[in-house]
Amino acid sequence: MRLRFTKMHGLGNDFVVIDGVTQKVRLSTEKIRYLADRHFGVGCDQVLLVETPTRPDIDFRYRIFNADGGEVENCGNGARCFARFVLERKLTGKRSIKVETAGGDITLNVTEQGQVQVDMGVPRLNPEEIPFQADAEAIRYDLVLPEQTLDISAVSMGNPHAVLMVNKVDSAPVETLGPLIESHERFPRRVNAGFMQVVSPDEINLRVYERGAGETLACGTGACAAVVAGRLRQLLEETVKVNLPGGSLSITWPGPGHSVIMTGPATTVFHGQVKI
């Protein structure tokens, strides 16, 4: 099978984007791992698949596969790349695009300046919806590890996130704590682990250890989850600049019951074909 693809990135969080609308695509776990492999394949954090929608009120179906081959519910940086991709490949002429994901419907808006604004939906805080094992919904939870107990917030942005406050992201133990949080038994579907440093009420620094991918240069849903956690802890204002290793995003969240709005860039690197 020979596949046309586009290599894209959102602040360094990189993707292999595949058009499943105009070409037949059959992706097994092994094929996804091959595409994502940086030595033997194309190389990416996630593979994004564009498909026709299952409902008439939606423009596209958006599927996300991590580098380990597992399908996940949502990806904010990928969503911005998805919007630019369907426009650039002339799959749509719309600048406001409704997309269905495994984590729920989202709306993508491409500005004249090329930035992409994404309505990421209302964050889910109920433990059952995250999913997270807890007796009741809370702003903060104790997460017990073998040698320490962490103070985290648990948020779903269509995919699960644990947000941990740190003094400095540069020295945060992302490499050691990330895998322990990701696979903690209280998160039955595993979890993305965010390490957040509050710089000021309207700015944070963030590193994210992503489920199935490891630490990435940027995580859009992680940025949204971090701002939600910071707002709930009464540490942040409504609009926050989120600095990630690959660049910055603007995240706006008025509060409970409202959608999170993410604005940031999406960049096309190259187009190609691969035989798998």
If you count them, how many residues does the chain have? 276
Q: Quote the tokens at residue 23.
A: 């070409």
Which helix (H) or strand (E) is 174 found in, with range?
helix 174-182
Bridge partners for 100 per DSSP: 61, 105
Bridge partners for 65 per DSSP: 47, 71
Catalytic residues: 75, 219
Which helix (H) or strand (E) is 77 found in, with range?
helix 76-88
| Residue reference for tokens 């945060």 | 172
d(CA 232, CA 139): 6
Strand-pair category, 46-51 with 13-19: parallel
Answer yes or no: are the C-beta atoms of 257 and 266 closer than 8 Å: no
